[in-house]
Chains A and B, each alone.
Chain A
Amino acid sequence: MIYSLCFVLIAIGLYGVVVKKNIVKIVISLAIMEYGVNLFLILLGYRFKGEPPIMDQAADASLFVANAVDPLPQALVLTSIVISLGVLALMVALCIRLYERYGTFDITEMRRLKG
């Protein structure tokens, strides 16, 4: 159920990318897709009543291994979130350049891009 809702989020992003005409909306749709994928990876590592993978001084080591959620997807999603920020900054820079050149965000007006 939760996985399918997560997939719905990704599908909404995909729909926005392929259907919308406004280039900023396409960038926003890509961000939504990223949210969906990151959430999916974190969901894969979750276990019921899981604790954050941060050790307590008083905690028992074997109990910690049995209770903590999977730390590996979290570390990799952390990387992915930061990279998505860089990619988004690059896309927005391209949008600003295109706006200065064509005076609009509408991709159907950018005729010279057509191959």
Chain B
Amino acid sequence: MSELLIILLLLMIVGALVAIETSNLLSSIISVGAVGFLLSIVFLFLGAPDIAITQIVVEILVLVVLIRATISRDLTTITGDRELFGMIVTVAAVLAVAVLSVHMFEQFPPFGVAVMDRVAGAPSTTYLEQGLAKTGAANIVTAILLDFRGYDTLGEATILFCSILGALTILRRKARKKQAEADKESESA
């Protein structure tokens, strides 16, 4: 089981490296799609079918958005990295964080032991015990999402609509033209 997970994770790391290091932008986007689909397979093995389905849907949308953004635009290679000193400093910082977090790994629960088993009176246990009786939903994830933590989902919907509103505001053209015309009119008047 964990060997399978390790193999899948190694494939994901290879895909991520290819996505970042390849020179062609389109193949980079397709590699990140491969990483996302592998991630959804990992979620399936980890007992999270809801997340796997959501991950597939979101991954397809991400691919469509990214390809729409880059196709017919600049697919030429942008070679070279940022200036050398900054790159060395940042890579050193990443390495330092990695070395420091090795000590942090010891604090984690061992893999295969859920956090709710280590904490007495964890809310997850309550949800599992009383989810069906209190909400009537057989799927406990849905029960948490829409009932126990419904305000979180409301906030999620708010963030989603705000971000899409922001994207539309950034991308629109019509209103900007009207604004320019209005400026001209006020100048002539």
Any A CB within 8 A of the CB of B48: yes
The answer to whether residues A2 and B167 also contact, given A19-B90, A82-B160 and a CB cut-off of 8 A, is no
Any B CB within 8 A of the CB of A90: yes
Any A CB within 8 A of the CB of B182: no
Select from chain B the residue with minimum beta-carbon distance to A83.
Answer: B159
For residue B36, which residues in chain A have a CB less than 8 angstroms away from its CB? 31, 35
For residue B168, which residues in chain A have a CB less than 8 angstroms away from its CB? 93
Shortest distance between the CB of B119 and any CB in chain A (Å): 10
Select from chain A the residue with minimum beta-carbon distance to B113.
Answer: A47
For residue A5, which residues in chain B have a CB less than 8 angstroms away from its CB? 6, 9-10, 13
Q: Which B31-46 residues sit within 8 Å CB-CB of chain A?
A: 32, 35-36, 39, 42-43, 46
Establish whether residues B13 and A8, one from each chain, have CB atoms under 8 Å apart when the complex forms.
Answer: yes
Select from chain B the residue with minimum beta-carbon distance to A91.
Answer: B167
The answer to whether residues A72 and B90 also contact, given A28-B20, A43-B111 and a CB cut-off of 8 A, is no
Shortest distance between the CB of B144 and any CB in chain A (Å): 4
- Report the interface size class on chain A: 35 or more
CA separation between A84 and B149, bound complex, in Å? 19
Establish whether residues B170 and A93, one from each chain, have CB atoms under 8 Å apart when the complex forms.
Answer: yes
Any A CB within 8 A of the CB of B121: no
What 12 additional pairs, Cβ within 8 angstroms, besides A28-B20, A78-B51? A7-B98, A27-B66, A52-B50, A54-B49, A65-B129, A71-B131, A74-B50, A81-B58, A85-B61, A86-B159, A92-B167, A99-B74
A residues contacting B by CB (< 8 A) are 1-9, 11-16, 18-22, 24-25, 27-29, 31-32, 35, 38-39, 42-48, 50-56, 61, 64-65, 68-79, 81-90, 92-97, 99, 103-106, 108
25 residue pairs of the A-B complex, CB under 8 angstroms, read A4-B102, A6-B9, A7-B98, A7-B101, A19-B87, A24-B25, A27-B66, A35-B36, A42-B46, A44-B114, A45-B116, A52-B50, A53-B128, A68-B128, A71-B128, A71-B131, A75-B144, A77-B48, A78-B145, A88-B66, A89-B163, A89-B164, A93-B166, A96-B69, A104-B74
